[in-house]
Every structure is written in C-alpha cells, then in structure tokens.
Amino acid sequence: MAFARALRAAARNWALYPSEHPAVGAAVRRLAEAVRPLTAGAAFSCGITPKTLLVAGLPLSEETSVAEVAQFLHERDLLQLTLIGDVSTEALEALLGLLAMPVDELRRQGGPAKVWEAAGQASIALEQIDYEKLLEDRDVDEPADRDDDVWRSLVNTMLHEQDVLDERQQRRLLRISRSAADIGKLTLAVTAPQCSIDGSPLVVTQAATVVAVFRRLTGLVEVMEPERLAEVMQNLAAATTSLDPNVAVEVMLTRDGFHERPIIEAIAASFNDDTVAGLLAQALTRDRRVTARLAQVFGTIVPDDERKRRVLAMARSMLSEQDFGAAGQFSTAWTAMEQLLLTYDDTPYVSASYQASLDGVGERAELLAARGGLPPELPEWMDTLQPDNVRASSVVLISDLLRIEDDRGRAAEIVQDMAVLVEDLLLAGDFQNSAIVLRELRQATDRKTIATAARHALAATAASTGLRDAAALLADLDAAGLQLFTECCELVGPGAVVAFLPTLQSESTAAPAFRRARGIVERFGADAIEYLSPLIPDNRWFVQRNAALLLGATRSAAAVPSLELLLQQRHADVLRQAVAALAGIDDPSAARGIRAVLHATTGATRAAVVEALVAERDPRVVPMLARVLTDSDPFGEDYQTVLDALAAIAQLGGDSAVSSVAVVMRGMKLFARKRARVLKRTAVKTLVTIGTPKAQAALDDAARTGDRLLKRIIRAARGPTHPP
C-alpha cells in the first residue's frame, strides 16, 4: 500500500513538473524507498484491476489511494506490474515517463508493454491487456442484451473513444440502434465509470460521452442503413428521457458546433409533447425547483409559447400523481416555476459582447477549420490551462463559493471538496494556494453552521497523504517555500505534527530536515504533546531522545508524565535529555520527577543526571533545585538527593535557591550528627561558591545565630582572614 501511494504521488508530480524539479526528485526517492523492501533483491508482482491491486491473488484494502492507482494503471491497459531485483532510479523515471504519456498515444504505439520493451529496462516488467486475444474464437452472434465479449469490447471502444469498429461490433451497434432500451443500456454502461473518487457522477463528462455515443450510432446508421435514420432519431430521443435528468439536461445543452449533422437539434425535434413533459416532470421531481439550465433546455426543445403551456399542463398533471405534486405548498411553488419556464431570459447575466461572441463561435470555428489558421488569442487561452493557473482558479472559485453559501448542507459539501483540493495542492507542492484554502477553512471554524465540518476537514488534512509527502520535502524547500509550508501547518493545527513523525525519528538532530521539523512542531507548544506520544515507546534510543527534546521545548507541565516515562530508560543520552527537559519546566510536578530520578539512580547514572541539570546553564533550573531541597528529607532517604542538588546549585549560582540552601544548612537531627555535619559543610560550601550578597548575608546570619557546629564550619570555610 505504501508502494501504491508512492507510485501515484510520483506519477502526479511527474505529470505536473519538469523532471529536474525538487518535488519530482523527492517523489522518485520516496518511490525507490518503497520499492526496496518489496523486492528485497528478488521479485515482486502485483495484478491490476479497475478497483484495486492484487498481491498473491488477494486484493489489497480498498483504501482511496490504492483504488486511485489501480484505476490509473488500468486506464493505461496494464494487467500486471513486476519489479525485479534492485530497481534503479533510471528505471523508475522511465516508468513514470511512460505513465505520463497520453493513453491514445500509448495505444497507437502498441500498448504500454510494447513501449516499455523499447525502453530496455529489464528490472521492471509490464504485462498489458490483449483485447484481440479476448475476442478471438468468439464468432457466435449473441443477442444484444447479453453482456458478452462483443458487448464489453464495444463499451470499451466507446469509453475510450477509439475510432475503428470491427465487423462484429458494427453489427451489434446496428442491432442496438433498433431499440431505445438497448441504446439506454449502452449509454449507462459507458457513463457508469465516469465518477469522481467519492462515487458522485461527473455529469458534464457523462453528457459528452452520451453525445459521442449518439453520434457514433447515427454515423454508422447513416452509412449502412440510411433509410432507418428517422427511426433511430426517435429511439435516441426516447433513450434521452431515460437518462439521469441532470445528464439529460447537459446533453440537450450541448452545442452541435460545425458537425455535419446537428444531432441535438434532430433529437429535440423528435420529442413529442409527452416525452418533453415526462423529462420536465422527472427533472422537477429530482431538483424540486427550476434551474436556469433546465429553463434553457426547455426553451430550446419547445420554442413555441403555445406548445410550452400545453407541455407544462401535462407536466403538472404528471407531478400531481407524485408526492412532490401532492404537497400543500405545491400550487404556490408551481406558479413560480411556471413563470420562470415561460419567461426565462439570460440577458441580465450575459453581456452583449459575450453573447455576440457565443453566437459567432460556430461560424468562426468553421472559418478557422477551413483556413487552417489559429486565433491570435490562442497563446493566452493556452496559458489559462497551465496547471498553476487552473489550480489558482479552482482555489479562488471554491473560496468564494464557501463565503457566499448560506445553506448548511451545501456549505458542508463545499468544505469537504476543499479538503480534497488542499490535499492535491499539497501533493503538487503548491503551498501558496494551499495556504489560501486552509485560511478559508480555519475561518470557517468560527461559523456556527459549518464549524464542525471545517474542523473535520482540517483534521483530514492533518492525516492526509498530501501533508505527509510535503513534510518529507522539508530539506529541499527554499526560504519562501518553508515559510508558506509552515503557515499551512499552523493553519491545519497541532494535528499536523503527525506528518513530521518520520522526520523526527532522525538519529542526527543536526540534519536540516529535523531542525526544520522541530521548529514547526515547537510552534504548537503544549498542544503538540499528545501527537508526540508515538515517539516515546519506540525502542530506538535516539527516537526517545528526540521525544524528550521536543517535549522539553514545550515548557509545559502537561509534558511531565511523558518525560517521567522516558526517565525510566537507562540509555545515558535519553536520561540526560529527559532530565534537561524536566529542568526547564517550572512546575512542582517536574521537581518531583527530578527528585525521583536522583533518588532512584546511583553511581555514573546519578552523575549523568547532575551533569544534565547543569549542562545548559539554564537559570530556570535553580528554582526547581530549590524546590527539590524544600520537598526532600535530608536526614532520610533523600540524603544523597539533597547533596546532589546542592552540588548542582553550587555550579549554577543565583540567589533564587539561597533560602532553601540556608534551611538545609541549619538542619539538625538527634542521632544523625554525622549526616548533619556533611549537609552543613556542603550547604556552606554552596553559599560560599554562590558568593552573592544574599548568600553572604545568609552565612553572616548563620555565623551569629547558628549552632556551634555550623559556626565552626562557616569559620573554616571562610578562613582566618574573614572578619567576624
């Protein structure tokens, strides 16, 4: 599955960017890393179906990325992919180049296997679908309603817009043209695959496919059975009414352009009143309202006002037999719908110059086709189709849609679309447009109606492949790209930390990718703690060290429980980093953790703990050590802990611990005279080392009011030259 995700991401980047682009290089490296454990020096094969990949004959999980790459490979007529031994980078780049070729070009050259054979890369083997073999020895003429090989080959030919039909396909298509039901079945089979990843139909694409099928049918009939052309037009009209209403509307809005036979006009002319009324009632039942496109189609099919009223009366009669027509408010709603259908005019929405341009586009196209010339605006038009411009337009449109949409349901759908869009933008390395979309989503979390949907969209982005892939490119980003990507992560929220976990497992904390990832993670402060937890149980010492480093950077008491788990590790570097992290947290719980580790360790490990406390010379450590002194029993089990804390305070200095040291210095306990002497001597030495006026004042006060043992120790520590 990791290989499938890496292959799809690499194919996307290869299609979007030149081969020398950093995003392409990083994608190829990730693909190579995914291939290496698959082959392990031997071979790996996977079968390809339209919906998933097969490994050892078993389907992979139907994860979106796996289904997407399976469909992508299947569309290029691939049946099996085999990786052999150590696959070189050159071989992977050649494979990506093949996958980026237009499908029609691949087929013209004999298919992907033939093209790959010429590439001469033996470490990858491709097997393609052999459609001729599928159809050989199939001479039985089956009925048109049976899904045999001829039917499937015909559907595939229509779906991929192949130009040539063999004799059996032509006979089957002629038979289909005799039945509106068979035409409807053919259009359904051809349009069914044309859906987005989430299963929603691509209505405009489906309508264009239906029109192409209709043209293929009428063209064949016109050549082989011209006397049946009128009958076929009637069948096409009947088949149009059986389509999904949205697809049917788009079909009727298709412009005939400069085609020799105006098929849409002919279909419209074949509609009788019953057919038009049925189509209208079906569309109104589905949408519960009149759309501008439906009104435009209605005006195209029924231009005569008298016929319009007659058809509307028939449609209303049909609707009255359904739940929609029986609703209490239907009469009021119907009056508004009827008025729109009878008076539709798009003049207020289309400027005169734009309408003139639309009206003349067919004539201009015919003129250009005859002359063989190109319009002078073509370079500007082509520039608008560049990937960067298309993405920018998508971002602007969807952002504007979200701002103006008041309906909660539709706004939530737009938010989901934005989550999908931002993942594609991140995969493409377009952080500028990603930031624009994420800003809109972040602002949407303040809108009560869609706040939940917006938060879910941001959470989905945090867990997305796009963010993980972008995070893997940290070391390759320039300063501007890093700034934009950092903003994207901040907009996503602390959940973005998950995308950096692979980078944060680096053994070297000086690596550029680790330093950049650490800088982004630290921006989230305490909110990042829960997302860093997967690093703690890792059995690699350097990963645990990195966890302690990042947890300590939060300076939050919420990180103490996790750091206490790391204190249980015996690796010196992990222990040292965890102690340093706790030392930087100004909270009683952190002080208790330090005291516990000092109490539980001995010898070299204890020395390492003390060394970690003073290594950074952080003045914030001193108040914590003072709290350790206050909370400890110097004459009990915390005796050695107090001595270690005093030694660390002596190295760090500062006035914040003087009061706590003075308390230890004055401590006494019956039958513990030896420990008292050591504690007093160490405390006095610590105050002398600190040497600040406050420390000297504490010594002066103890020299006057302390017990006899303490006075002797102070005199010995100060020497004979010090005035009484």
The pLDDT, as a whole number, for residue 330 is 41
Contact 196, 140 (CB under 8 A): no
C-alpha pair distances (Å), 658 with each of 624, 655, 696 = 13, 5, 10
The pLDDT, as a whole number, for residue 351 is 62
- The Cα 183–Cα 187 span in angstroms is 6
- pTM here? 0.47
Nearest alpha carbon to residue 106 among 78, 69, 132, 140: 78
Q: What angle do CA 507, 510, 515 make, to 5 degrees?
A: 100
- The Cα 561–Cα 543 span in angstroms is 17
SS (H, E, C) 89-116: HHHHHHHHHHHCCCHHHHHHCCCHHHHH
Domain boundaries of the chain, sorted by first residue: 2-129, 147-343, 388-523
Three-class SS state of 240: helix
Strands 124-128 vs 58-59: parallel, antiparallel or unpaired: unpaired
Query: Tell me, what amino acid is at 335?
Result: T
Low-confidence ranges of the chain (pLDDT < 70): 16-17, 22-23, 61-65, 130-148, 161-163, 196-200, 241, 245-246, 249, 253-262, 268-305, 316, 318-375, 377-378, 384-388, 599-606, 615-616, 618, 620, 720-724
The pLDDT, as a whole number, for residue 145 is 44
- The Cα 323–Cα 232 span in angstroms is 35
Helix 2-16 vs helix 408-427: crossing angle, to nearest 10: 80
Nearest alpha carbon to residue 581 among 556, 611, 598, 607: 556
- The Cα 33–Cα 27 span in angstroms is 10
Nearest alpha carbon to residue 294 among 282, 277, 280: 280
The pLDDT, as a whole number, for residue 504 is 92
C-alpha pair distances (Å), 470 with each of 388, 510, 519, 558 = 17, 20, 16, 29
The pLDDT, as a whole number, for residue 550 is 92
Contact 675, 634 (CB under 8 A): yes
Percentage of the chain beyond pLDDT 90 is 10
Q: What angle do CA 637, 640, 643 make, to 5 degrees?
A: 135
- CB neighbourhood size of 499 (10 A): 27
The pLDDT, as a whole number, for residue 517 is 93
Contacts of 607 (CB under 8 A, 6+ apart): none
The pLDDT, as a whole number, for residue 147 is 56
pLDDT tens, position by position, 369-428? 555 556 676 677 777 666 667 777 888 888 888 888 888 888 888 888 888 888 888 887
Q: What b-and-e string marks burial along 507-523, b requiring 16 or more CB atoms within 10 Å of the CB?
A: eeeeeebbebbbebbee
